[in-house]
Amino acid sequence: TDITEAFEASHIDPKVQQLLRKFEKGPAKGSRKSPYTFADDGFYQTLKRRVYELLKNTPEGPSQISKKVMDGTALSFGILALLAGYFQSTLAAALAGALLAYVFC
């Protein structure tokens, strides 16, 4: 089974390609049945190199604003869930459910 497309699309870091070379057994028998090529000077490899350079300067993880929004949403869910239980409020329960769906979707 040829998984070249899946490998190339999933691994942008050139270190992975170097690691893979240690496990090569030789050229594949037969020709590939794919219209895509992954030549080093081709479009896709050039795109991967450029994207990799851009991603190196991108901070990892969520921004502080995203963290605050999610914390506020989780806190609001907790408060609404407690209010829904205490006051038997369908509206508060529906809003709590909507916030919960927002967090997980």
What would you measure as the largest C-alpha separation in the chain, in angstroms?
71
Instruction: Assess whether 39 and 77 both reside in one domain.
Output: no
Q: Which of 41, 36, 31 is nearest to 4 (CA)?
A: 36
Instruction: Assess whether 39 and 72 both reside in one domain.
Output: no
pLDDT confidence of residue 1: 60
- Report the number of distinct structural domains present in the chain: 2
Distance CA 50, CA 55 (A): 9
pLDDT confidence of residue 104: 83
Distance CA 8, CA 53 (A): 16
Q: What is the pLDDT along the chain (105 residues), one digit of tens a residue?
A: 678 888 888 999 999 988 888 888 877 787 777 788 889 899 999 999 999 999 998 888 999 999 999 899 999 999 999 999 999 999 999 999 999 998 888
For residue 102, give the amino acid letter.
Y
Instruction: Assess whether 36 and 72 both reside in one domain.
Output: no
For residue 11, CA distances in Å to 17, 18, 24, 49 come to 8, 11, 17, 11
What residue numbers bound the domain in which 23 lies? 4-56
Instruction: Assess whether 69 and 52 both reside in one domain.
Output: no
pLDDT confidence of residue 29: 80
Instruction: Assess whether 75 and 43 both reside in one domain.
Output: no
Instruction: Assess whether 39 and 68 both reside in one domain.
Output: no
Instruction: Assess whether 68 and 45 both reside in one domain.
Output: no
